[in-house]
Chain A
Amino acid sequence: MKFLCVSCDEAMKLMEVAPPDRGSLSVVYRCPTCAQEIAMLTNPFETQVVSSLGVQIGADSDPMDGESRCPFSSMVPELGAPGEESSPELRWSPEASSRLANMPEFARPLAKAGIEKFAKERGLGEIDLGVLDGARKSMGM
């Protein structure tokens, strides 16, 4: 989707994606010539179209780079399932977090919960690559 400033016949630039509200998304565009701003306000169906493609408005093509910028993730219930939030007493090393982010998105909450359970049972405070290997071995992988 592109927006054109009619006065200037100039393509508008995506400036900001506001936090979602009840299935609606606000995306602000600005004309680079006259600085006129408009906001595209999606209805929940329009939001879902993009969400269902597994992409994020304005995100980088590299999934690692787009993490936490996704305005849709928090709107799709299964992505916010239990286990998505880290236990406060557990830290994830950047390498371990990166591996988790490489998994299919819908499988992450369960994987995270399973690994944190594994770490807690062993009294570990940080989840690093060694803990991930240990969890896989304990499950026969």
Chain B
Amino acid sequence: MALEGGHHLKGYYDISGDGGSNVLAQVDAQQARIAQNLSLVRNLLAIGSGKGGVGKSTMTMQLACALRRQGYAVSIMDADLNGPCQARLGGLRETILLPGASGATVPTTESGIGVVSMATLVPEPRAVEFESVATGSSHTWRATKEFTILRELLEGMDWGKLDYLLVDLPPGVERIVQYAELLGPTAMFVLVTIPSELSKGVVARSIEALKQTSNPILGYIENMDGYFCQDCQRVKPLYPAQSSIQFELPRLGTLPFDPALAAHCDRGGSLADLSTLPSWPLLQRIAEEMLKRAAELTPSEETR
């Protein structure tokens, strides 16, 4: 750096190290610890949409159940810190995280699905708060704080040996790219939509956003594609059959709205209960399609 009078001074890159704060080394060390902690997780599968209220969380739990039924070791990380519901879906609202030999022990559902959700730490109806030392400015730091907490979950939970770690993402199109960055390029994405143009328009944006990354998108699931009428035992339409928005992605399957399934989710029902519902065969088919597509996109990866 040259000053007036030709006086030269060292610039930032002329000085080795990071000035003694060790911040850069700590950030690198965090990344290394996450990689180490996830080294026994064979597949990271993010369930997102971009749109809220389309059933990402319920689909995540139901896919986990379908994978579990096939004998896979599965856990869920609830990345929706503001509206966490995996603890309720898994019947684990009364659980707390406890220290184990290599990080916090992951609570498991009756069916053996690991679930880590902010809802176990912050019981309903309390809201998750993102405190800030700069009074009244928590909004400024919210995103950074959120990702710090997610990073801590990836780093500090004892995930153990898993076939699938499902990550239930919150809504937000632009943020889906940030989650891809957090989870790394091998994380696969499944997008959930409902048949409405409104929802599909947002999901189309998410697909475009994910194209910026190298993460594979396995396909999309059309949720609430009609509703299951318990009187006539038939699926009836909820939305117009034709949509002007088409995705250049495989449709992994469709699932009608099923009041019995909704009630099952509300009470955190077990896998055994789920498998008695009319939606169960459809869920299993979606999971099979998803695995088939994953095997196509990542041929080097064993499917089991």
Contacts and interface: CB of A to CB of B under 8 A. Distances in A.
9 contacts: A44-B137, A47-B133, A61-B26, A96-B99, A99-B99, A107-B121, A115-B98, A132-B99, A141-B105
Contact of B152 (A11, A56, A61, A105): A105
B9 interface: yes
Interface of A: 1-4, 6, 9-14, 20, 23, 27, 29, 43-45, 47-63, 72, 75-78, 96, 99-100, 102-107, 110-111, 114-115, 132, 135-136, 139-141
Contact of B22 (A58, A100, A102): A58
B115 to A, nearest CB: 12
A107 B97 contact: yes
Given A2-B19, A110-B96, A54 B30 contact: yes
A107 to B, nearest CB: 5
The number of chain B residues touching the other chain, given as a range, is 35 or more
B2 interface: no
Contacts of A14: 19-21
Nearest to A129: B101
Given A11-B15, A29-B20, A99-B100, 16 more contacts: A2-B12, A2-B17, A20-B133, A23-B134, A23-B135, A48-B140, A54-B30, A54-B152, A102-B103, A104-B104, A104-B152, A106-B121, A111-B98, A111-B99, A114-B98, A139-B107
Consensus secondary structure, chain B interface: mixed
Interface of B: 8-10, 12, 15, 17-23, 25-30, 95-105, 107-108, 121, 129, 131-135, 137, 140-141, 144-145, 148-149, 151-153, 155-157
A57 B99 contact: no
Contact of B140 (A45, A47, A55, A139): A45
Nearest to B18: A2
A55 B23 contact: yes
Contacts of A43: 134
B10 A11 contact: yes
Contacts of B129: 78
Contacts of A45: 134, 137, 140
A19 B149 CA distance: 24
Contacts of B103: 102-104
Given A61-B28, A103-B104, A104-B155, A52 B19 contact: no
